[in-house]
Amino acid sequence: MNTQLPDYMIKKSLSYLESMIPSLISLNRIGAIDNSNITLKVITKFAEQKKWDDLFTRSYDGEMITCDFEFVRCNAIFLVICDGKKELGYMRLTTGHHWLSIGKEYCVSEAYIKPAYRGKGVFREALKLAIENHNVRAILLELERAALNASYYRTLGFCGIQQNKGLVYLLHADLYHQPQIEESLLIDEQVARDLYMALTTENAMVH
């Protein structure tokens, strides 16, 4: 049985594919961004803050420390990550931790990037801006996720850790130039030891 397509059908198919190329290129560019254009916009309205907080909560599948949202707002800065008029994601910064100067240094307690913009360096650029402009000196993460991405955070200057009920705070080198961190670890947890090693290896890179 001859299954070869007639020439006219092949030509028709090729013409259709050629006509689709501009659309496919445009579709691929939807998530394209110039990281040098990324900015952080402070939002203060309750409804907008709650919208982004809900987006983060729905997308997050790990362990969370739940708090009353009104209480959270009292000690937080809500930032929308933008590329021009496009909103790419958000970060919530909190203060009041005993190892931070209250009202002067902040911790990234939540971060959310829209699916279309993930894997493009958006969070890294936003975090750099938050470190420079909002004095971010810590990041709250699950222990396993922190261990998995330890080298990534180390390049941004985070080399210390504090544990908190299954979660960890990665602390910036500015807080601990010679960090005495081992006392903060649960020594019987292998992943905690691995994280300590990952963060403290080649510490000279971040000082």
> What is the spatial distance between Cα 55 and Cα 59, in angstroms, rounded to a whole number?
6
Q: Is 32 exposed, middle or buried (0-12, 13-18, 19+ CB in 10 A)?
A: exposed
Which domains are delineated in the chain?
A: 35-134 (3.40.630.30), 140-207 (no CATH)
What three-state secondary structure class fits 174? coil
Residue 162 Cα distances to 48, 165, 196, angstroms: 31, 10, 10
> What is the spatial distance between Cα 78 and Cα 53, in angstroms, rounded to a whole number?
9
pTM score, whole prediction: 0.70
What confidence tens digit (pLDDT) does each residue in 106-117 have? 999 999 999 999
Q: Determine the length of the chain.
A: 207
- The pLDDT of residue 128 is 95
Q: How confident is the model at residue 36 (pLDDT cuts 50, 70, 90)?
A: confident
pLDDT higher than threshold 80 for residue 17: no
Both tokens of 55, joined, read 């987006």
| CB-based contact 123:89 (threshold 8 Å) | yes
| CB-based contact 206:157 (threshold 8 Å) | yes
Mean pLDDT of the region 199-205 = 54
Q: Which residues pair with 87 in a beta bridge?
A: 82
